[in-house]
DNA sequence: GGGAGATAGTTACAAACGAAACTAGCTGCC
DNA sequence: GGCAGCTAGTTTCGTTTGTAACTATCTCCC
């Protein structure tokens, strides 16, 4: 019993090299900086920013479309939109053809704020990658697309007949 | 004023190509799949998983060290550790030399669960990148490191004398 | 044209979270 | 040796978030 190696000397799993963990930290650090920017200068949080950005991008969208585009649940969209409306940054235009939904659009104040935040956001993203070569930037975009697609496939129920049913 | 182009035809900011947004969605999709794995099979959430993984990796660590290593605030670590202790997966060993802290270690049950989850987690990460070339995997690791470092620098207060003071 | 089921969006409730206050114990300095 | 200040960890409190229930409207089909 001289050497009590109850487990192989190096554990095969180290958090610091575990991709999901690394992605999570990277995203958190980036979001943190950006959120501080929005928050300090404009008193706006990330869900509100995403709605503002989506409405700014499309000029007139339903809440549902915002959720799809900005990857947010409908509750979050509803709350963020309510907050933006209260602050006079967006307005609701009821859809005459479908009483359930309404289009969201920027008010003049909303346009003004969007006009200020958007360049700031773009500059933040630009500074983030300005030390990368063009090839690296392209690789990054491609890799993100690949991982997004791959993770989406892995999360999806998979072709019927596979291990998806509840019991498995 | 014949053409009333209140804004250039294409907005320069599109959420779908905005790096911080893309990172956030990628991380969320990956974490979601992983979290479902842990949760369905072991009834464990991500903060608990991170603590378990860190304790499993180092055998005996203080809560503070866990927080540093796993990028969690001390409150989150405290709660996750309490939960794991309640379930009999980790135990606390008071540090005789410093009454403020205690070392966390896996119980036999905790070892068993770690032994089950770790390979599962590694397999998940492996499947995530199995469609990538070796070069792509290397590039991904390198790019994550670069972005992590860069975002960290950008968030840091910066050299004294810069625009950091509150008023700016 | 009227009811069953689907859909857009809001509200209600409960879990998760972080900031700040708090407890307990250590360290350095007089 | 004792007090001022620091550190590890927990608890408290208010905020944010997600799930589920609900409202209002639409669509399909008889």
**Both tokens assigned to A108:** 């003049």
A168 CB contacts (<8 Å, ≥6 apart)?
A: none
Residue A68: closest C-alpha in chain B: B16
Strand C at less than 7 A from CB of A113: no
Whether the predicted pLDDT of A157 surpasses 90: no
Helix (H, G, I), strand (E, B) or coil at A46: helix
Does domain B30-147 fall under CATH 3.40.50.10260? My reply is no
Strand C at less than 7 A from CB of B73: yes
Distances (CA, A) of A127 to B19, B100, B157, B158: 11, 42, 16, 14
B20 CB contacts (<8 Å, ≥6 apart)?
A: A27, A30, A31, A34, A121, A124, A125, A128
Strand C at less than 7 A from CB of A62: yes
Whether the predicted pLDDT of A158 surpasses 50: yes
Dump strand ranges (E) for B31-118: 61-62, 90-94, 102-106
DSSP notation for B119-153? HHHHHHHHHHHTTS-HHHHHHHHHHHHHHHHHHHH
Q: What pLDDT was estimated at residue A155?
A: 84
Task: Count contacts between A and B (CB, < 8 Å).
Answer: 181
Q: Residue A29 and residue B140: Cβ atoms within 8 Å? A: no
Per CB-CB distance under 8 Å, the chain A contacts of B132 are 143, 146
Q: Which nucleotides of C are covered by protein (CB under 7 A)?
A: 7-12, 16-20, 24-27
The matching CATH number, chosen from 3.40.50.720, 1.10.10.10, 2.170.150.70, 3.40.228.10, for A26-126 is 1.10.10.10
Q: What pLDDT was estimated at residue A12?
A: 83
Element (H, E) at B80: helix B74-86
pLDDT tens, residue by residue, A16-64: 999 999 999 999 999 999 999 999 899 999 999 999 999 999 999 999 9
The minimal CB distance from B12 to the residues A31, A54, A122 is found for A122
Mean pLDDT of chain A: 89
Q: What pLDDT was estimated at residue A81?
A: 98
Q: Residue A118 and residue B11: Cβ atoms within 8 Å? A: yes
Q: Please report, in tens digits, the pLDDT of each residue of chain B (168 residues total).
A: 555 555 554 448 999 999 999 999 999 999 999 999 999 899 999 999 999 999 999 999 999 999 999 999 999 999 999 999 999 999 999 999 999 999 999 999 999 999 999 999 999 999 999 999 999 999 999 999 999 999 999 987 654 434 433 333
Nearest to A124 by CA among A27, A28, A32, A33: A33
Instruction: Round and report the angstrom distance from CA (A31) to C1' (D14).
Output: 23
Alpha-carbon distance A88 to nearest alpha carbon in chain B (angstroms): 20
Residue B10: closest C-alpha in chain A: A57
Kindly state the average pLDDT of the residues A56-74.
97
The β-bridge partners of B92 are B104
Dump strand ranges (E) for chain B: 61-62, 90-94, 102-106
Strand D at less than 7 A from CB of A98: yes
Whether the predicted pLDDT of A102 surpasses 70: yes
Strand C at less than 7 A from CB of A74: yes
Q: What pLDDT was estimated at residue A156?
A: 77
**Both tokens assigned to B93:** 């060993």
pLDDT tens, residue by residue, A79-89: 999 999 999 99
Q: Residue A146 and residue B131: Cβ atoms within 8 Å? A: yes
Q: What pLDDT was estimated at residue A98?
A: 95
Nearest to B28 by CA among A42, A157, A70, A117: A70
Q: What is the DSSP letter of A161?
A: T
Kindly state the average pLDDT of the residues A122-148.
96
- Domain positions in chain A are 26-126
Residue B75 to residue A27: CA distance in whole angstroms: 21
């Amino acid at each position: 019993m001289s050497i009590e190696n109850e487990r192989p000397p190096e554990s095969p799993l180290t958090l610091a090299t575990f991709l999901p963990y690394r992605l999570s930290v990277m995203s958190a650090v980036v979001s943190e900086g950006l959120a501080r920017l929005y928050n300090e200068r404009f008193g706006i949080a990330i869900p509100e920013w995403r709605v503002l950005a989506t409405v700014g991008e499309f000029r007139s969208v339903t809440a549902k479309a915002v959720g799809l585009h900005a990857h947010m649940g409908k509750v979050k969209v509803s709350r963020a939109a309510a907050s933006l409306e209260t602050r006079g940054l967006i307005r609701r235009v009821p859809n005459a053809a479908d009483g359930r939904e309404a289009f969201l659009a920027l008010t003049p104040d909303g346009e003004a704020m969007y006009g200020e935040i958007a360049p700031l956001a773009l500059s933040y993203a630009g500074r983030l990658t300005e030390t990368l070569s063009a090839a690296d930037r392209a690789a990054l975009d491609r890799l993100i697309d690949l991982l997004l697609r791959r993770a989406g496939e892995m999360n999806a129920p998979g072709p019927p007949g596979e291990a998806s049913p509840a019991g498995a």
